Structure 1
Amino acid sequence: MILSRIDQALFDPAIKVRNFLDRFPKIYNIYMIAMCSTIAGMMFGFDISSMSAFIGTDSYINFFDNPGSTIQGFITSCMALGSFFGSIASSFVSEPFGRRFSLLVCSFFWMVGAAIQSSSQNRAQLIIGRLISGIGVGFGSSVAPIYGAELAPRKIRGLIGGLFQFSVTLGILIMFYISYGLGKIDGVASFRIAWGLQIIPGLILFTACFFIPESPRWLAKRDFWDDTEYIIAKIQAHGDKDDPDVLIEIGEIKDQLLVEESANSIGYATLFTRKYFRRTFTAISSQIWQQLTGMNVMMYYIVYVFQMAGFTGDTNLIASSIQYVLNVVMTIPALLLLDRVGRRPLLIVGAICMMAFQFGVAGTLAVHSVPWPDSGNESVNIQIPDTKMYASRGVIACCYLFVCSFASTWGVGIWVYCAEIWGDSRISQRGNALSTAANWIFNFAIGMYTPSGFKNISWKTYIIYGVFCFFMTVHVFFGFPETRGKRWEEIGQMWDENVPAWQSRSWTPIIPINPETEKAARISLEREEKRRASSVVRPSISDPSV
């Protein structure tokens, strides 16, 4: 037994990677760990505002030969295309090599892509750089939420999961103001410096991966139980291995691993079997609906939107920045409400509000805008005249309220929901990777479509997104079960029993979990494991030289 473990440590590449990363001191504060891992979300935010801030500037338009609506749509959305492939590939790295190594891969691709973008000489090089950066974001967006969910104590799992979206919004805000300042530079240096600065969050994440612990669930799958217990105890009980929460967590991991003996045969096809199809469909749908709200229209092309409302130059950029501030501020209430109100109420109310504000933008532009054939941008062919500033303010107000509605509901809620909805750890990583890939492919499609949509149907584009918001409201009510406050096993049982989504909030399992009985069982299992382990030597964090 000892020889086989040593052989594994010597010849298994995954163990070599783990041992190398474990040579560095670790931080065990869950909030600090989450801040490090969710830098992957901040990268995505950096990309959104670094592009949206420059697509309307003369230096960008002239250097890239006045890109039309189609090619600009592809330039903007190719990052999401790269993220689609990165999301699919992430599980093939995260499962064998661990969550930290996947985050290292994320930061590596992001930095390479940012360097290529910053040195772009033509459209082709810019597109290649954005594709490579997208691969990194795809890895990060698939792995970071799962990593946080696997490390976080149950009581704050919603909060920790929501920090990913908060990091996205913070990245958008920070990079927008950086880009706004650099936009005052005359010439190509404005966007080159902004895109080059994107290397910084990638470098921070790359360095942080050496100081954060590995996921205890991944370690348990590799049979490193000493390290699993150590990490959980340090995070949840300041190192007290006899703490009841620690014992319960260890016991749950053991129970899940008992049914994971068949996990090696599980692939993406398993997600579409009869047992798992409904949860797969729900997770993929939720990520698709998040994109079909039209939020990325307000993020990527906010400059175009405000040009239609009659705002140009610095006035446009300042108005845009207010929207980004609201996006960050209104994410905070969602972090607090997810674990109090629940997932379903937030998603339903958010969808209804977004529908109203999309229709508000469409209606105001339909009534008060006039043709603007000489705008200099084929995607912007209408504008509200100066004589109707009240209508311009109405469009801006609807945009602001839309962003507030999204940020406080769907922005945070979907990332948390998709990380916890599976109820079966055998499929959670691949399931989350697949649903995230669906998010990115629709992100790509919307980025491609929107400039052409503005060109061909102008204000009617907003009606399409408003209709989508109506249908997602109906889908959430009838198809999205409530997961707030439910244990992992209870969520799985809820799916197996086909509990109607509108009854899931008050549903209780047939065999409720008795905390006291469970605690006693966990303590018993823990003592038995310690007794068995006392005669076996295992490489651990405390012995990295093996």
Structure 2
Amino acid sequence: MYTISNIYVLAAFGTIGGALFGFDVSSMSAWIGQEQYLDYFNHPDSNLQGGITASMSGGSFLGALAAGFICDAVGRRRSLMLASVIWIIGAAIQCSSQNVAQLIIGRLVSGLAVGITSSQVCVYLAELAPARIRGRIVGIQQWAIEWGILIMFLIAYGCAKGVSGPSAFRIAWGIQGIPAFILLGSLFFFPESPRWLGSKGRWQEVENTLALLHAKGNLDDPAVQAELLEIREAVAASQNTEGVTFFGLFGKNMWRRTMCGTTVQMWQQLLGGNVAMYYIVYVFEMAGLGDQTLTSVIFLVTTGVILPYIDKIPRRLLLLTGSIVCCICHFTIAGLMASYGHHVDSINGNTILRWQVDDNTAAKGIIAVSYIFVGFYGFTWAPCGWIYSSEVFPLKYRAQGVGLSAATNWIFNFALAYFVAPAFTNIQWKTYIIFGVFCFAMTFHIFLSYPETHGKTLEEIDVLFEAKIPPWKSNQVKSRFGEKVETAVRKGSITEHVENEADKKSSDFAVQKETV
């Protein structure tokens, strides 16, 4: 059977799994202010609406927890096939919803699929991509999420304006199943992850896959042989230790990696992205403005702009810049809302909203700062959070570690999706103070705890953690392996030099540790 070898084509189809998440975000955020939805589901109050919105995140949490075990057992590719089928079932349940209970069940089922894809697409692409472009390849998942948000928002907007009654949201929710059919069909032509194949001892398939992906089938290519040796070393190291258990993620040599992987996903949520995406319609209504389409466009454009350059920028710089700017944005919005807003019983009949800003200049200021927040979120945390958590775990624990990291993302996504609607009702502008404090705290945590992974192979990142270099000095440790392979090629003695450099890689890092 024909196998796709172009890494960008693989990323384009593989990240449809991310687009499913984006579809689900807009499938709710686009409808919570529409009469067809509100009338059919009897105008849910803030607590019920929070539960409906958060149900998908609850399912995603469970899916992400199970994803690592499924992925290790059947492979990266087959786990994504399973997720596609689950998503199609969830879309069908949502499309035919007769009441709130059925809608919540449909979103839970869809969430199971999103939990698997959100964690394992990152793992899959990180293991397929060469180190020099790993960031942009994994980051395409976040861009796909944003495309999904925009596409579903436009579909929902068109249905809301052009279709009357419950058929409006049924059509939109039914269309969600189409991308899953495309993903399922394309996966039959995908290669399996060479690192997963190596963990199962299928070395000829590993070599063939690496050659297909990185050298147009040339088994003797030095880059292929170099990466093959690195994978052999990583697999050998993992086989010399005890079996993989969930609690092993918190062992003596693993807890720092687990802390980095899980907290980067936690902070991505606590940064306040849910306010910007799930409930942006509420912010616009409180500010007296109605059209939030530009938010999705800004989100999409900023992430698209940064992806070609994301492998040239240190991960820590992106994360720290994002947390600082978003912190300023949250406090600014809180100040404007507190200074120029006042309490009301409802806005346009929506009793969830109890705070309104009448001053036109202040309202425009709130929207402008919201756009700035979304832009910097798209530049920094939106792609980098997923990239970083996919890099920090060793081969042995990668699927389970990234699964736990994604589960952390989803449990906080669940909490915030449920919390934000009642928060706008009960504490109004103070909601932004809470997110501002989170951003302030994460800035210090990132600086003190997150080592730099930019530009290093997955195996070199293993050595970086084992060396216990202070995170704020880790950017001084440079990857040398690729340069030495190129030197070997120029000298003509490819195989011998590749093997020698693979043997020396760990000692190179040890020397750099002493220098740092």
Same fold (TM over 0.5): yes
Of 400, 406, 416, the residue aligned with 1:446 is 416
Aligned to 1:353: 325
Give 2:384's aligned amino acid: G
Amino acid at match of 1:457: I
- Given that 2:330 and 2:433 are in contact with CA atoms closer than 8 Å, whether structure 1 keeps it comes out as yes
Aligned partners of 1:133, 1:263: CA distance in 2, in Å? 37
Inter-CA distance 485–247: structure 2 relative to 1 (3 Å threshold): same
Taking the aligned partners of 2:19 and 2:52, their CA distance within structure 1 comes to 20
Do the aligned residues in 1 keep the contact of 2:68 with 2:402 (CA within 8 Å)?
A: no
Q: 1:227 offset after TM fit, Å? A: 1.9
**Aligned counterparts of 1:84 and 1:46: Cα–Cα separation in 2:** 17
2:102 matches 1:125? yes
Do structure 1's residue 463 and structure 2's residue 441 form an aligned pair? Answer: no
Inter-partner Cα distance in structure 1 for 2:305 and 2:322? 13
AA in 2 matched with 1:378: T
Structure 2: distance between partners of 1:264 and 1:433: 20
Residue 290 of structure 1: aligned partner: 268
Is the 2:315–2:452 contact (alpha carbons within 8 Å) kept by the matching residues of 1?
yes
Aligned equivalents of 2:12, 2:214: Cα separation in 1:
17
Is the partner of 2:155 in helix, strand or coil? Answer: helix
Alpha-carbon separation, structure 2, partners of 1:325 and 1:215: 33
Where 2:311 maps in the other structure, the secondary structure is coil
Query: Aligned partners of 1:28, 1:522: CA distance in 2, in Å?
Result: 27
- Deviation string, structure 1 residues 158-203 (Cα, Å, up to 9, x no partner): 1101001010011101111111110112211111100000000111
Residue 361 of structure 2 is matched in structure 1 by 390
CA distance in 1, matches of 2:2, 2:480: 45
Matched-pair contact (CA < 8 Å) for 1:263–1:426: no
TM-aligned CA deviation for residue 62 of structure 1: 1.2
1:26 Cα deviation from its structure 2 partner: 1.5
Aligned match of 1:261 = 239
Per the alignment, residue 209 of structure 2 pairs with: 231
Shift of 1:258: 1.2
Cα distance in 2, alignment partners of residues 490 and 152 from structure 1 = 15
Displacement of 1:262: 4.4
Q: 1:77 to 1:519 in 2, by over 3 A?
A: farther
| 1:377-426 alpha-carbon deviations (Å, 9 max, x no partner) | 232111112xx21111101101100000100000000111111112x211
Where 1:441 maps in the other structure, the secondary structure is: helix
Which whole-Å deviations, capped at 9, do the CAs of 1:61-94 have from their partners, x for residues lacking one?
1111111111100100110110001011111211
Q: Which residue of the partner structure matches residue 147 of structure 1? A: 124
Mapping for residues 376-387 of structure 1, pairs under 5 Å: 376-385=349-358
Q: Name whichever of 484-493 and 51-60 sits farther off.
A: 484-493
Q: What letter corresponds to residue 123 of structure 1 in structure 2?
A: V
Partner of 2:298: 326
| Equivalent residue in structure 2 for 1:407, among 378, 389, 393 | 378
- Equivalents in 2 of 1:322, 1:26: separation in Å? 39
Distance across 1 between alignment mates of 2:230 and 2:26: 42
Partner of 1:502: 472
Partner of 1:477: 447
CA–CA distance in structure 2, aligned partners of residues 257 and 298 of structure 1: 42
Please say if residues 152 and 160 of structure 1, whose CA atoms lie closer than 8 Å, have aligned partners that are also in contact. yes
Separation in structure 1 between the aligned mates of residue 151 and residue 50 of structure 2, nearest angstrom: 24
Aligned mate of 1:207, from 182, 185, 200: 185
Residue in 1 that maps onto 2:166: 188
Deviation of 1:141 (Å) = 0.8
Match for 2:313 among 328, 332, 341? Answer: 341
Other structure's SS at 1:407 match: helix
Instruction: Name 1:244's counterpart in structure 2.
Output: 222
Residue 71 of structure 1, aligned match among 30, 34, 48: 48
Question: What residue in structure 2 maps to residue 531 of structure 1?
Answer: none
Q: Which residue, 168, 189, 195 being the options, matches 2:145?
A: 168
Q: 1:406 to 1:509 in 2, by over 3 A?
A: closer
CA RMSD of aligned residues (A): 1.9
CA contact (8 A) 1:59 1:186 kept: yes
Q: Distance in 2 between matches of 1:509 and 1:63?
A: 58
Of 283, 301, 304, which residue of structure 1 is paired with 2:282?
A: 304
Distance in structure 1 (CA, Å) of the matches to 2:23 and 2:474: 38
The aligned amino acid for 1:300 is Y
1:523 Cα shift? 5.8
**1-side partners of 2:443 and 2:346: how far apart?**
39
Shift in Å at residue 335 of structure 1?
1.3
Secondary structure of 1:383 counterpart: strand
Quote the Cα distance in structure 1 between the aligned partners of 2:314 and 2:494: 26
Residue 513 of structure 1: how far off its partner (Å)? 9.3
Match of 2:504 in 1: none
Instruction: Determine if contact 2:346/2:353 at 8 Å carries over to the other structure.
Output: no
**Under a length normalisation based on structure 1, what TM-score does the superposition of the two structures give?**
0.87
Provide the C-alpha distance between the structure 1 equivalents of 2:482 and 2:154, rounded to a whole number of angstroms: 51
Deviations 1:492-530 (A, max 9, x none): 2222232111111113599999546796457669xxxxx
Q: What TM-score, normalized to structure 2?
A: 0.92
Identity of aligned residues (%): 43
For 1:226 and 1:489, how far apart are their aligned partners in 2? 20
Q: 1:251 to 1:32 in 2, by over 3 A?
A: same
The CA distance in 2 between the partners of 1:338 and 1:331, in whole Å, is 10
Deviation of residue 145 (structure 1)?
Answer: 0.6
1:347, 1:438 → 2: CA distance?
A: 18
Contact residue 493 and residue 509 of structure 1 kept, 8 A: no
CA shift, 1:274, in A, is 1.3
Q: Is the 8 A contact 1:284 1:434 kept in 2?
A: yes
8 Å Cα contact 2:50/2:421 also seen in 1: yes
Matched residue type, 1:466 = G
8 Å CA contact 1:31–1:160 kept in 2: the answer is: yes
SS at match of 2:184: helix
Helix, strand or coil for the counterpart of 2:110? helix
Matched, 1:56 2:26: no
The reply to whether residue 427 of structure 1 matches residue 405 of structure 2 is no
Q: Is the 8 A contact 2:126 2:134 kept in 1?
A: yes
SS in 1 for 2:476: coil
Task: Indicate the SS of the match to 2:475.
Answer: coil
* 1:480–1:357 Cα change, 3 Å: same
Question: Distance in 2 between the 1:68 and 1:512 partners?
Answer: 57
Q: How many residues align?
A: 493
Corresponding residue of 1:110:
87
AA partner of residue 466 (structure 2): D
Q: Distance in 2 between matches of 1:356 and 1:380?
A: 24
Partners of 1:434 and 1:104 in 2: how far apart?
Answer: 20
Q: Which residue of 1 aligns with 2:461?
A: 491
Over residues 313-369 of structure 1, what are the superposed CA-to-partner deviations in whole Å (9 max), with x where a residue is unaligned? xxx1x3x11000000000023313321121001111111110111111111111111
Task: Supply the distance in 1 between the matched residues of 2:226 and 2:416 (Cα, whole angstroms).
Answer: 44
